[in-house]
Amino acid sequence: MRRVRRVAGRHGFTLIELLVVIAIIGVLVGLLLPAVQKVRESASRLRCTNNLKQIGLAFHNHESTFGYFPSGGWYSYTPPTYANGQPFVGRPQQAGWAFQILPYVEADATWRGGNATTDVQRDLVAIGTTNPLFFCPSRRGPQTVTYGDNYVPPLTGGKITHALCDYAASNKEGTGAVQQFDPVRIAEITDGTSNTLLIGEKRINRALLGTKQPDDNQGYTCGFNYDTIRKTTRPPAPDYFAPVGDGGGLFGSSHTGVVMFVFADGSVHPIPYSISPNVFKYLGQKNDGHPVSPP
């Protein structure tokens, strides 16, 4: 009697089964992606908070050394001020607050202009050297922009590379803890250092990052200009994407719902975009007689 050998059948995925598997994978990715993004943003916000803590500490170290906070500098077209290789401090220093705190954020070499042998060369080193501390990771990494020399008087007459910055001081109205020309002493902050904004994130049009925007081109060494100083008479607003436009002189961020600030006492707090305009204005003023606590 002949034996009949049975060959086991080979089974594969049917089209319907394949589509079901793909759908399940799509659902899982859809569930997982927001969680990953949330964790990533949480880490970025933590790093941003640490940046601001370091900036606040640098302000207080500067104050301990000289008796006053860094000033907001002079003008957008005034570079860092050196004399015989030494950076000026106080009113004679025409660069802004971010340049003035460099010795206290482990950037003393940049502050001194590296190994340059002339003051113009020192300016170029300081202006073009990025510092990771000045960038919020929720928005971008260290970034520069290069364009024609617009300093007065010109430094080179050619193109100059500017290291940018994501943080700005309070406030452009001249009522805050960082003022044009003259540095502020802690005793002048009569509303209380815990009730007064110092440095926060600045609003930016993210579609134009890395280009010569009106308020994101001169860079961190810039004097009293929207690159490094922002308004507090209007509340903060989030970053946005558009073919034209800039930050409008406002504070703001790429974080969800809040913008981060370090206060004059060195503490860091999130400020919601929904904050009352009056409360935000009072927080920005150092001695208006309306001390308010962070929300």
With a cut of 80, say whether residue 32 has pLDDT above it: no
Answer yes or no: is 171 within a domain.
Answer: yes
Query: Tens of pLDDT along 63-111?
Result: 999 999 999 999 999 999 999 889 999 999 999 999 999 999 999 999 9
Whole-angstrom Cα distance, residue 103 to residue 133? 13
Query: Tens of pLDDT along 39-57?
Result: 576 788 899 999 999 999 9
Residues of the chain with pLDDT > 70, as a percent, come to 91
Answer yes or no: is 293 within a domain.
Answer: no
Answer yes or no: is 67 within a domain.
Answer: yes
Domain that holds residue 121: 34-284
What is the total count of domains within the chain? 1
Q: What per-residue confidence (pLDDT) applies to 202?
A: 97
Query: Tens of pLDDT along 252-270?
Result: 999 999 999 999 999 999 9
The residue-averaged pLDDT of 211-229 equals: 96
Residues of the chain with pLDDT > 90, as a percent, come to 82
Cα-trace Rg, the chain: 25
Q: Which residue has the higher pLDDT, 137 or 5?
A: 137
Q: Which residue has the higher pLDDT, 30 or 292?
A: 292
With a cut of 60, say whether residue 10 has pLDDT above it: no
Whole-angstrom Cα distance, residue 56 to residue 289? 23
Whole-angstrom Cα distance, residue 186 to residue 199? 15
Answer yes or no: is 28 within a domain.
Answer: no
Answer yes or no: is 168 within a domain.
Answer: yes
With a cut of 60, say whether residue 3 has pLDDT above it: no
Answer yes or no: is 85 within a domain.
Answer: yes
Q: Characterize the bridge pairing of strands 159-163 and 197-201.
A: unpaired
Q: What per-residue confidence (pLDDT) applies to 25?
A: 78
With a cut of 70, say whether residue 138 has pLDDT above it: yes
Reported confidence tier of residue 288, pLDDT bands at 50, 70, 90: very high
pTM passes above 0.85? yes
Cα atoms in the Cβ-side hemisphere of radius 13 Å centred on 52: 29
